Structure 1
C-alpha cells in the first residue's frame, strides 16, 4: 500500500496495546541526510477549548509504527 506524506494527516494514530487514541498526524521528523522518516508527531490536545494552551506533542518513533490502515496508523508505544 502506497501512502503519501500528505495523506498521513488524515490518519488517526492508535495504540495496539490498549487502544489509546493519540490523535491525527500533524508533522514528521525526517533525517535530511538519508531522507528517512524518524518519527511521527501528533499535536497535543487542547485544554479547555484552547484557552489554556495545549498538552505536549506526542513524538512516536518510526520503529513503533506497526501497521498502516485505510484511515488509521497502529503503533506500539
Structure 2
C-alpha cells in the first residue's frame, strides 16, 4: 500500500510562518512588504497555500551574505559570477 501524505495544503498564519522557517512577526512584516504571497479566504478563514509558500524557495538567490564591497573576495566572486552568466 503506498504511503499517503497527510500534510495539510492550507496553513494558518503561525503554521505558514513555521513552514518557511521564520517567526510570525517576520512573516507579517514580509507579507506587508509583498514578499510573501497573500492568503486565501476559505470559509471565512485566511489560509496560505503551501504551494504558494513553496514558490518562495524557487526564486534564485544571488546576493552575497556579506555586501561589504571593500572585501576583495566578495568583489572577485561577484565579477566571476557575472562572467558565468
User: Which has the larger Rg?
Assistant: 2
Same fold (TM over 0.5): no
Which is richer in strand? 1
**Could you state the TM-score of these two structures normalised by the residue count of structure 2?**
0.25
Whose relative contact order is higher, 1 or 2, with alpha carbons under 8 Å and at least 6 apart?
A: 1
**Could you state the TM-score of these two structures normalised by the residue count of structure 1?**
0.26
